[in-house]
Structure 1
Amino acid sequence: MNHIEITPAQVGHRLLLLAGARILLQLRKDGSWGLPGGWLEPGEPPEQTVRREVKEETNLDVHRIQLLGYFSGPEYTFSQINKEHNDVVTALYRVDEWSGVMIHDPSESDGLTFFSSEELPINMTEEYRHYIRCYLSHQR
């Protein structure tokens, strides 16, 4: 039995507010939604890449992050526009604290929106859905 099932027995029928996860997604130039992110610069630690990319794409300053996992293998091989194939290692981070005013850079995306974990947009690739499922499994 999880805490949501146990809690009503403890509080009776009083109003109970449960916080869901909010996930920041960016509307990509191809019309699909995805997580903010980008490539490492030479010599750049992954945590710094998170801070730099989030700043570039959202104008937000990241203060506290947690590594959730690495993803690699045949299912993470992508073809680029120039037909090159790349085997990608993706590091997934949860951002717990940030500050600033969210502003999207039109050269990076067509918009930014927080979604609840229960109401994600339909036009999102399975890759991003996979990352979000991983994130949500860490929330339990």
Structure 2
Amino acid sequence: MEYYKYLRQYVGHKPIILPGSVVIILNKQNEVLLQKRHDGCWGLPGGLMDLGESYEEAAKREVFEETGLTVENLILLNVFSGSEYYLKVSNGDEFYAVTAVYYTKDTSGEIKVDYSESKEISYFSIDNLPDNIADNYMRFIEQYIMKMY
């Protein structure tokens, strides 16, 4: 059972802290890989940490599960946390996300969409990102752009 589901058995919908990781994956043209989620918003591949995992292990596992890609040589951009990362989702669950954001160009494998998590996966030019990127992911990408350009 995923750790957050285990916690929910005890705390119900009350706010909890959820650690996770995402990865800004860049191809040779410096385009960023985004996945279109079922809510219609684009985001970065990644997800929540399981018990015993490091942030980097969670990032690698989630990217593989969601995209079919193996990522290596992850570089930590930042860890994002605080009140601006509070979410209340449609089922009433509340949480504060603590997200380690990595970036890499070191990928192998072929993109395979996990349709239980995504509707589409595509690379986008940093100068021409889709309009409907979820706010938190846009903050991560903006910090990457400020650091690299």
TM-score by structure 2 length?
0.78
Distance, in Å, in 1 between the alignment partners of 2:75 and 2:134 is 23
Q: Give the letter aligned to residue 51 of structure 1.
A: K
Q: What is the aligned partner in structure 1 of residue 56 from structure 2?
A: 47
Q: 2:40 aligns with which of 5, 27, 31?
A: 31
Q: Which runs of 5+ in 2 are unaligned?
A: 1-27
Distance, in Å, in 2 between the alignment partners of 1:138 and 1:21 is 14
After the TM superposition, which segments of 4 or more aligned residues of structure 1 sit over 4 Å from their partners? none
- 3-state SS of paired residue (1:50): helix
- Bigger radius of gyration: 1
Q: 2:146 aligns with which of 108, 127, 137?
A: 137
Q: 2:78 aligns with which of 69, 75, 97?
A: 69
Q: Give the letter aligned to residue 61 of structure 2.
A: R
Shift of residue 20, structure 1, vs aligned partner: 6.0
Q: 1:99 aligns with which of 100, 108, 121?
A: 108
- 3-state SS of paired residue (2:34): strand
Distance, in Å, in 1 between the alignment partners of 2:89 and 2:134 is 16
2:64 is aligned with 1:60 = no
